[in-house]
Structure formats: structure tokens, C-alpha cells
Amino acid sequence: MTRKSQSYTKAAAPLYDAQGRQALAIYDLSEDDSPWFRYHRYYWKKPNEPKCEVAPLVMGKIAPRGHPAYHYEVLLPDDAPGRYKAIEDLLGNYDRALPPHEKTAFAQFTIDHEPEESWITTGELVRSWALEQFVEPHGLAVVIVHHIPELSGSGNDPHHHVIVFPRRLTSNGFGMHVLGVADDEGYLGAHVSWHASIEPGDVFEAIIDDIDTPAN
């Protein structure tokens, strides 16, 4: 699958916000040869210190700079409380559930699409992938945000943000941190599975070759 490269720059985030709480830092594990699939982990650098909340940042992705996203959706495990479908309830309960020692806030996978691709088709592809990759096997909550920049006069490509909260969600609320999702291993697995979902049967050698093979 050939995609054109698109450049992005991020300003360095401050360590503390105006209230003296730790601000979220960003770890970027995106690969230069796959600019259409990007990964960022949002985290706090120091455990056991007052932290900023996750909710304002996620809500800012749903309505960046006053321009509402084309669409967003909350995906939940089957046994999650129904009220968590409301984005405010989901984010508020997630913030309250985070223990003082937690450093990981969430993982964000950004997937670009060609301008001529169907908005509905790409949306369904991303939704199915998120369910199969995160919600169903791990019991995680996911927020999908669909941006179509041309609707607000921008020349950037349409894209989805897939925001994954790496704490298992059950009928009792958010619980244990799930390993292998919001980390390097999780990025690699997600990258491979997304490529497989859009090009079945294609062995994504550029990624697979990056896995260290144990010596015999």
C-alpha cells in the first residue's frame, strides 16, 4: 500500500500545568516509512505526584480549535456500564480510577486516509479493527475520532484517532492495567494487524523484520 508522506510537528509539552500538576508528555513511536499510521503514548513522567486530567485533552481532539470532529464514537466491552457510552462519564470515571503510581494515560493510533476514499467505508474499517484489536480481546474502552480537515478549509488528509484506555473495563468500572497495548509491543501488534486488515494476505515485511529473532 503506497501512501504519500505528510509532515507533522509537535511542540514540547510542559512538565507541569498552571495548577502545578504534571502535564501529559508524549512518546512518539511512529515510523518514517509508515507516515499514514502513527502511534503516540500519552503519559506522566513521575509517579505519585498530582497529575492533570485526561478528559480535557481527549475532548480537545473531539473539537479541536472550535471545529467539531466529523464523527466520534465510544466503543465499550459488552459488560461495561451503559452510562460509560456518554463521553463525559467515560472520561470522568477513567480519571478517577487512575491510581497515584500510574504513569500511562492512553495510547493514540492515528490512521490517515486518501482524500478520495469513502468516509463511511474508512470509518467502518477503523471501527471493526478497533473492536477486534482492543475491545473484544482485552475488554478495553476505545474512543474513535474521525477528522476531515477539508471541511474546515485545511489541506491535511482525512484521518482517524483511535484512543485506547489501557485499563480493563467491566461492570465494576475500570480495573487492572492491560500490558501489551499502550507500549512498544502494543504499537507493533496494532501496526501489523491494521495492515493485515486492509491488505489480507500481505506479509508486512517492513514491520516483521524489526522484530528481534532470539538466537538459538
Q: What share of the chain is helix, strand, coil (3-state, %, to 5)?
A: 30, 25, 45
Q: Is the dihedral of CA 59, 45, 31, 155 positive or negative?
A: positive
Residue 67 lies in a domain: yes
Q: How far apart are CA 163 and CA 61, in angstroms?
A: 10
Which has more confidence, 5 or 18? 18
Domain CATH number, residue 31? 3.30.930.30
- Supply the pLDDT for residue 154: 83
**Containing structural domain, residue 33:** 25-199
Residue 127 lies in a domain: yes
Cell of 40: 503516540
- Supply the pLDDT for residue 67: 73
* 14 — pLDDT class (breaks 50, 70, 90): low
* 13 — pLDDT class (breaks 50, 70, 90): low
Please, what is the end-to-end C-alpha distance for the chain in angstroms? 34
Mean pLDDT of 109-115: 95
Q: How far apart are CA 100 and CA 141, in angstroms?
A: 21
Question: Cβ–Cβ contacts within 10 Å for residue 67, how many?
Answer: 14
Residue 8 lies in a domain: no
Output the DSSP codes for 163-208.
Answer: EEE-EEEETTEEEEEPTTTSSHHHHHHHHHHHHHHHSTT---HHHH
Residue 56's SS3 state is helix
Mean pLDDT of 104-110: 97
pLDDT digits (tens, 9 = 90+) for 31-89: 776 779 999 999 999 999 999 999 999 999 998 876 789 999 999 999 999 999 999 99
Residue 205 lies in a domain: no
Query: What total of structural domains would you count in the chain?
Result: 1
Q: How far apart are CA 77 and CA 47, in angstroms?
A: 28
Residue 14 lies in a domain: no
Question: Cβ–Cβ contacts within 10 Å for residue 141, how many?
Answer: 26
Residue 37 lies in a domain: yes
- Supply the pLDDT for residue 200: 61
Residue 15 lies in a domain: no
Mean pLDDT of 124-151: 96
Residue 122 lies in a domain: yes
Mean pLDDT of 173-184: 95
> Which amino acid makes up residue 195?
H
Which has more confidence, 202 or 147? 147
